[in-house]
Structure 1
Amino acid sequence: MVEHDFRYSLLNPQHTLTEVRALAPGRYQVTGNGGSIQANDILLVTLKGSKDLSMRLSVDKVRHLINPRGQWVAVAHGPAFGELAIHEWQVNCNACETQLKFEFAVDAKLGTKAQKPAAAARIAELGWKTEGDKHFCRKCQEIAA
């Protein structure tokens, strides 16, 4: 098992994705070039419409194409979204007023009630701490410890 990074931040014309298409919630068809993709490999792909969010897809099967050379089509599984929505929020550290602008993904079919838990999970991924309605950056967490 190998992890292949196809996020936007690593643009490389010999190692790119052509398309990521949802076949069903949690199942994806991925078309790309390069990378020697094999079954059970992990693909890191940027979420459409996002600047820095990505998701991990696990390759179930892959078919390498003869023409064009180096191209492949894979079927993979990953996060199941009915309808993906990407939101951008910002919070301030209650101790030092440092501002965090961040993106998070949520299933749009779950409505607005799902946004706050998804935002809280993303804040935690970024190393910030949430206590009720207060937020603390990494630096202020270290000072308090």
Structure 2
Amino acid sequence: MVEHDFRYTLFNPQHTLIECRALVPGRYQVTGNGGSIRKDDVLLVSLKGSKTLSMRLTVQTVRHLINPQGQWVATANGPAFKELEILTWQVECDGCQTSLDLEFAVDSSLGNKARQPAANARLEELGWRSQGERHLCPRCQASAS
């Protein structure tokens, strides 16, 4: 198993993601160029409409195309979103007043009740800690220890 980084970048144009579309929630069809993709490899792909978010997809099947050379089509499993929504909230550290523009993904079909848990999960990924309405950045957590 190899991890391939197909997040949007202009630094590696010969190793690109052409299309990623959901077939059903949790199952995706991915078309790309370069990278020698094989079954059980992991693809790291950017989320459409996001500046920083990506998702990990595990390749189930892959078909390498003869023409154009280097292009492939794969089916992969990943996060199951019925309706993907990218949100940005501003979070402020209660210790030092550092501000963070928190970008996170949520399944909008679950309604507003799914937003807070999704935001808290993303905050934890970034090293922040939240307790109720209070938030601490990684620097303030380290100085408190």
TM-score, normalised to structure 1, is 0.98
Deviations 1:62-98 (A, max 9, x none): 0000000000000000000001000001111101100
How much has 1:102 moved relative to structure 2? 1.4
Q: Name structure 2 gaps, 5 residues minimum.
A: none
Residue 118 (str. 1) matches residue 141 (str. 2): no
Amino acid at match of 1:116: Q
Number of residue pairs the alignment of both structures matches: 145
The CA distance in 1 between the partners of 2:73 and 2:24, in whole Å, is: 16
- Aligned-residue Cα RMSD (Å) equals 0.9
How much has 1:128 moved relative to structure 2? 0.5
How much has 1:11 moved relative to structure 2? 4.1
Amino acid at match of 1:132: G
The CA distance in 1 between the partners of 2:134 and 2:121, in whole Å, is: 14
Matched with 1:107 is: 107
Runs ≥4 in structure 1, deviation > 6 angstroms? Answer: none
TM-score, normalised to structure 2, is 0.98
The CA distance in 2 between the partners of 1:89 and 1:132, in whole Å, is: 16
Matched with 1:40 is: 40
The CA distance in 2 between the partners of 1:23 and 1:61, in whole Å, is: 14
Amino acid at match of 1:4: H
Matched with 1:75 is: 75
Q: Name structure 1 gaps, 5 residues minimum.
A: none
Amino acid at match of 2:45: V
